[in-house]
Chain A
Amino acid sequence: QQQVKQSPQSLIVQKGGIPIINCAYENTAFDYFPWYQQFPGKGPALLIAIRPDVSEKKEGRFTISFNKSAKQFSLHIMDSQPGDSATYFCAANTGKLIFGQGTTLQVKP
């Protein structure tokens, strides 16, 4: 049973578009919600993270929106670039870091 559910599995957008990746969780004990970015042949790297007492966090072109009552959070990438093409994972942490299924993003020039 997947504790963190992520969608879509893949996403294609044009340069400048705003891809949105969604995640949902069940365990209300989760207290930290990071997003990781992974390029081919590399390990995942932390991109941005949020705690449940905040509804939105922005770092550069990346924004997390968090809806505690719905137990959902999402990643928005503003003005997406071909260099953003990667696999993105949401995750949730409560002593153990549990990941979603991943989303492969392709940004076309």
Chain B
Amino acid sequence: NAGVTQTPKFQVLKTGQSMTLQCAQDMNHEYMSWYRQDPGMGLRLIHYSVGAGITDQGEVPNGYNVSRSTTEDFPLRLLSAAPSQTSVYFCASHEADRAFFGQGTRLTVV
């Protein structure tokens, strides 16, 4: 039982490049979410999904896309990376009110 697995752990992108942050969970949870963590800003909700085929926007959705084709996977896409997207990204899988977080992806956009 691996819990929530995020890949990659580290990534450097050039401005304008695109990439997908992967997130997979093996707990059969319907609810999954993506957060970004920045100093002094805490964890801010980007997008979330209450089940396969259903996604919705969080507090800071601009510049990010998500899809949920399976219960297990919830990838986060950056279509055209900007320096403002430099951050640590966390994926979470939720059981009732409890969130289980992955180890995070540290993304730097230069």
Contacts and interface: CB of A to CB of B under 8 A. Distances in A.
Interface stretch (A13-21, A41-49, A58-66): A41-49
Given A9-B40, A98-B59, A99-B35, A45 B101 contact: yes
Contact of A44 (B33, B45, B101): B101
Interface residues of A, number: 23
A36 B59 CA distance: 19
Contact of B103 (A9, A36, A42, A46): A42
Interface residues of B, number: 22
A43 B103 contact: yes
B42 A100 contact: yes
Interface of B: 4, 33, 35, 40-45, 48, 58-59, 90, 92, 94, 97-99, 101-104
10 contacts: A34-B99, A41-B103, A42-B103, A43-B4, A89-B42, A93-B97, A96-B33, A97-B92, A101-B41, A102-B42
Interface of A: 2-3, 6, 9, 32, 34, 36, 41-46, 49, 89, 93, 96-102
